[in-house]
Amino acid sequence: MTNRSGYGTMAASRGNRKAIEVNKSDTIVIAGAGGFIAGALTRRFRDLGFTKVRAVDIKPIDRWYQTVDGVENLPECDLRLRENCYRVCRGAAEVYNLAADMGGMGFIENNKAACMISVLINTHLLMAAKDAGTVERYFYASSACAYNTQKQQDTDSTALKEEDAYPAMAEDGYGWEKLFSERMCRHFMEDYGLVTRVARFHNVYGPFGTWDGGREKAPAAICRKVIEARDTGVTEIEIWGDGHQTRSFMYIDDCLHGIDRIMHSDIREPLNLGSAELVSINDLVTLVEQIAGVKLNRTYDLDAPKGVRGRNSDNTKIKKLLGWEPSIPLREGLEKTYAWIRQQYLDRKAGKKTVS
């Protein structure tokens, strides 16, 4: 097998017993490729010269956040259905499961059942990957929402370590689906020998993500609100909650790099994948205002969905095991994200097709 020539080699350089090699002509399956992170992952594989990337999503292709030429795009493929999972895993060497019905806190808190149903995707993909006979590695995108919510009641709370997921008290709906699916991965590895890797994402943001419509996360929502205020002459911005809630936000490039490192490591347990740069929502608004060159009056909707009070990623384990952690500064990532959303906003205003 030939080395990935940059994809996987850095992951193998530290904290692993041997390099992981994948032939660039092997079939790579990316589930949820019509979404933000998986769409970016699809493009990364294509740019690195992989010739058999199978991109799968339930949405019609004209609703994908980005489409990538030179890959096998499979739109309108519902991976909650067992037969579809078996079809897409046929002949695959690696499977990346980033498919889920999810969004920002506004969506998660109001669609708990829909979020839970995503457990079917991981269940059927694991079964299909096991039975395919060709799958060497399986990646599952979990979330910091899997962590015990009782440990996240203070804005100054200690950063979450991997073991803080237990005793289990995950975020209702979405978080429980993630925690259960993590266990599925573990047991498929223990019982069937399928090599599975799990990363707990902490608030990924960047260009080509949702920025309007109810599923957007805080960085994109705040960028849009500031852009709208500048464009319309409005002098205030509404913030969900009291603004003191704290979070960390990871730029998409760090996320992709981390997926590679974790997938091609020998780390069997779930691992945090997030920035350790903690900010309050008020601080996040201030950063976006500085980028935009405006200062807005703030109003606070205390009844809006706002999630836990404080959440941050403890990166002790990823630094120890892989010699790396996400490090792109929030200001740097926000500048790129703001510029992209601003162009989307202007394009929509001009009647052009945009990502939403």
Domain span at 140: 9-205+250-273
**Whether 248 contacts 276, CB under 8 Å:** yes
Query: What's at 104, amino acid-wise?
Result: G
CB 299 within 8 A of CB 48: no
Assigned domain for 328 exists: no
Q: How many distinct structural domains can be found in the chain?
A: 1
Q: Is 16 inside any structural domain?
A: yes
Q: Write the Ramachandran bin of 91: left for phi over 0, alpha for psi from -120 to 50, otherwise beta.
A: left
Of the candidates 262, 307, 4, 259, the one whose C-alpha atom is nearest the C-alpha of residue 155 is 307
Do 248 and 279 contact (CB within 8 A), yes or no? yes
Compute the average pLDDT of residues 217-242.
95
275 pLDDT above the threshold of 50? yes
pLDDT at 5: 33
Q: Please confirm, yes or no, whether 140 is among the known catalytic residues.
A: no
For the residues 281-288, what does the mean pLDDT come to? 98
Q: Look at residue 4 in the predicted model and tell me its pLDDT.
A: 37
In a domain, 236, yes or no: no
Looking at the domain assignment, is residue 156 inside a domain? yes
pTM greater than 0.85: yes
Give the mean pLDDT of 251-266.
97
pLDDT category at 16 given cuts 50, 70, 90 is very low
- The dihedral through the CA atoms of 83, 87, 93, 97 has a sign that is negative
Active-site entry in 7, 138, 140, 174: 174
Q: The CATH number of the domain where 82 resides is what?
A: 3.40.50.720
- Residue 193 and residue 71: Cα distance in Å, rounded? 29
Query: What string of DSSP letters covers 53-98?
Result: EEEE-SS-GGGSS---TTSEEE-S--TTSHHHHHHHHTTEEEEEE-
Per-residue pLDDT for 354 more than 60? yes
Query: 83-142 pLDDT, tens per residue?
Result: 999 999 999 999 999 999 866 667 778 889 988 999 999 999 999 999 999 999 999 999
Asked if residue 114 is part of any domain, the answer here is: yes
| d(C-alpha 178, C-alpha 150), whole Å | 17
Instruction: Specify if 303 maps to a domain.
Output: no
* Mean of per-residue pLDDT scores for the chain: 91
Which has more pLDDT, 108 or 281? 281
In-domain check, residue 108: yes
CA distance linking residue 300 with residue 238, whole number of Å: 6
Nearest to 275 by CA among 252, 250, 251, 257: 250
Confidence class for position 200, pLDDT limits 50, 70, 90: very high
Nearest to 208 by CA among 341, 55, 347: 341
Distance CA 104, CA 337 (A): 16
Residue 302 falls inside a structural domain: no
Task: Assign 12 a pLDDT band (cuts: 50, 70, 90).
Answer: very low
Q: 27 falls in which pLDDT band (50, 70, 90)?
A: very high
| Distances in whole angstroms, Cα of residue 338 to Cα of each of 101, 119, 288, 293, 316 | 25, 33, 8, 12, 30
**Residue (of 120, 124, 112) closest to 82 by Cα position:** 124
* pLDDT tens-digit readout, 289-324: 999 999 999 999 999 887 889 899 999 999 999 999
CA distance 118 to 309: 26
Given this model, what pLDDT does residue 248 score?
Answer: 95
